[in-house]
Each structure stands twice: as C-alpha cells, then as structure tokens.
Chain A
C-alpha cells in the first residue's frame, strides 16, 4: 500500500471539456471549472501492477483511464509512473464521487522512472486481452502536466510520496471482469492488471 495521496484531475482532456462546455453553463454547474477539478485516491485505492482489481457489483465495467502519474519526491517532481486511473462510469461532476472513484484498487501504478523528455507529446496505449483498444496523446491535455502541477500546488502542497495524475481521455474505453489490461508508453515501465468480479459485498 502507498502511504502517499494521489490526486487526479477530472475534465483535463481538452476535447472532452469543449464538448461539455454547454452543459457546464447550466445548473448545477453555472460556469465552467476554473481551478483544476481534483479527486483523491489513497490507501487501498492504490495498487501496483499485477493486481487483480474488482469490478464492483452493479457496475457494467470500469473506465480504463490510462495516464501518467508524476510523483513528488524530496527533490521535486522527478519520478513518473504509468497509471491506470479507473472509475465506475458516472456522468455528474457535481458532488465528490467517492462511490465511483474511491473504491479499492481503482488506481494502479507501474514502477517509477525518470520523467519522459517528451512528456507533452507522450502517446499512451491501452491493450485489452492482447488487442489495442485505445491510444491517446498527452498533447490533448487542457492543462499540460507542468501547468497542472503549478496550478494545483498554488493552493495545496504535494508531499513527498504524493502523486499527481495527469488526467484521463474523455473517450477512454470500458474494461470488464475477466479483462487483462496493459498500458504502455515509450520510456516508462509497462503496467498490467486484470479485472475480476467483486467478491461478497453488498450492492
């Protein structure tokens, strides 16, 4: 288990943000987001590559948010990991989505390495059961990673061990129980997890 806290940025895919802009002028939002829209994953919410992750009862599947995590170290944001930022599909961004984002295992991270030089042009590929299902480029980010770090740390510190997740694609695919998910990007250690049915538990 990771002692640190991971902060995800919702709505950081520029195309997704543009598509939702009309809705964000209506209730309950009123106006588009100004500060980065953050959510928290921590404790048993974070697992390593190789994990079997439960799809909760009642959920059709999980959004496979392939992204990159920049980790705060003592000396700065000098470590990067591939990350699979999972979510129970949800349409509302109004209230904190603990039931959709806060479940055990909904963030898997690979081993930490140096930050890729071409961070803002990083291509991240998602493969399910051996077939490529999604590919996106971090050039799509509304706030690029360095801007996001600056905007977030303007009002809260990330502590050594904490991670900032760059954001997920608005068109990220859905994974289902039984799927084997692999995430890859140049220069970073790969990440593989499997999805399984939830054991026990009340719906």
Chain B
C-alpha cells in the first residue's frame, strides 16, 4: 500500500493509492485523480527528520572525505520539506546547488536501544527524498551546516510512503537522479556504509525513535548542479519517483 498526504476539501487528509497509481482513495471512500491532487510531504506532523552525510563511500571519495567511522547524522526541521511536484528555490547568489537522491526509512514503532539484528522490523515504510545541498554555503562547523541543509523547501519528499511489508529488501534498490531527463546519479542502496538497520541501532542508543520519525539514508556519488527551470526526478526502485521543479528564490 502507498500512503499519500494531501489537502482536500479544506483539510489535511491521508489517502492510499489505487492499484494502478492513478487515483487516491480517501478514508471516506472518495477517489481523486492523483495528477491534480494537492499533495503534502508524507510526514507525520512533529516527527523528527534525521539525515545522513557521507553514507555512500563513492560519494565521500568524490567530496574528498574518507567514509566516517560512525554515522554522520544531522537533523532537519519541517520548513525544509516540500511535496512531490513542488518547487525548490535556488538562491540568487549561489550556483552550486545539487540534488541528492535518498531512500527514506519511516519508523513504525518506538525504538530505544535496539540491536541492529532487530531494527528493520521497526521500520513502517519507505519513501524518497531529494536532499538538496548548496555548496557555496558550506562551513566547517557542524558540517553540513543548516544554511546548506535546512533551507526552506530544499528537501522534496514523497510522493508517498510504501508499506515496509511491500519492500522485499531495502538494501538492494536502485536509486537515480535525472535532471531534465539526463541521469546524473545512479547507485544502489546496497552500497550504504551504514545500512538502515545499523542506523536505527546507532540512533536508538542516543535517542528514542518514535513512529513517523524519518531517516534520510544518504546519497551515492554524482554531483550535478541545477538551474532555474530544471525538472529533477529522484527515483528509488520499488518506492517511487519524486519530481521537483527548480526556480529562482524570490
């Protein structure tokens, strides 16, 4: 099952996709065409958003870093999220803004001090994120710093959450990014330095993970800059294809 969050009839609602992905079925039984729905990022309000840096060895090498010896985790606020088909803004004084396609694990049950062997069972679902970075704003303080990673609407998320039960092996999914149809990132979730189970074990020893919390699990190599007018697609095999448009920051 694929779960979408949207605005319909003046309120926020959750619905599920029909079998052919063409329509959204609401709790009331009403069905709406997916293509014209007003989507929201499929996030539980108040949930925490964890994100990983340098979690693919080839991306670390590309940036001139060794792969870290423990997960490099940072947090995001809800301001950073934008839905499928939304718009992300390129600042007017920056040229080096690049998309980062990521598999997102959505926690399904409380996780505290969980062993890695038991951790995947606590994932409720998966979605896709495009964790844009603006390299001009990088500073070596709590890097990647929030001016790079927590800008408004620079973390597209969606289009939906797929039930974990429908994902046979989350560590064997192809992921890719296309800018105007041209592939700029291509990898596999099998290449993560710290797989999802290890990330949950690590984080759950630090803090209590709650249902709805999200872990953006990092991105493979391929740094390509976007320009206003570009259409960016981030796709994770079996999860979804997340579309985003780039425009100038107003």
Contact = CB atoms under 8 A, between A and B. Distances in A.
Interface of A: 1, 3, 5, 7, 10-11, 28-30, 33-35, 37-40, 42-45, 93-99, 102-104, 155-159, 162, 200-202
Contacts of B75: 5, 39-40, 42, 96, 98, 102
A29 B144 CA distance: 12
Contacts, number: 113
* Majority secondary structure, B binding face: loop
Contact of B77 (A34, A93, A159, A201): A159
Interface in B163-183: none
B184 interface: no
Contacts of B79: 156-159, 162
Contact of B113 (A3, A29, A201): A201
A162 B46 CA distance: 11
Contacts of A35: 137, 139, 145, 147
B131 interface: no
Contact of B140 (A1, A5, A28, A157): A28
A157 B47 CA distance: 17
Contacts of A37: 139, 141-142, 145
Given A1-B46, A96-B144, 12 more contacts: A3-B45, A3-B46, A35-B137, A37-B145, A40-B146, A44-B207, A96-B142, A155-B137, A155-B147, A159-B78, A162-B77, A201-B112
B225 interface: no
A102 B146 contact: no
A109 B144 CA distance: 27
Interface string B89-119: 0000000000000000000000011000000
A20 B116 CA distance: 39
Q: How large is the interface on B (under 10, 10 to 19, 20 to 34, 35 or more residues)?
A: 35 or more
A45 B77 CA distance: 14
Interface string B42-74: 000111101001000000000000001000111
Interface in B200-221: 203, 205-208, 210, 213
B85 interface: no
5 contacts: A10-B142, A38-B146, A38-B150, A42-B48, A98-B75
Ordered nearest first, which 6 A-B pairs have the shortest CB separation?
A3-B46, A40-B75, A96-B74, A5-B77, A43-B48, A38-B146
A201 B202 CA distance: 11
B80 interface: yes
A77 B176 CA distance: 41
Contacts of B207: 43-45, 102-104
Contact of A96 (B46, B73, B80): B73
B146 A98 contact: no
B141 A11 contact: yes
B206 A98 contact: yes
Contacts of B8: none
B152 interface: yes
Contact of B146 (A7, A28, A95, A200): A7
A103 B206 contact: yes
Nearest to A5: B77
A40 B77 contact: yes
A43 B213 contact: yes
A37 B73 CA distance: 16
Nearest to B110: A44
Contacts of B48: 42-43
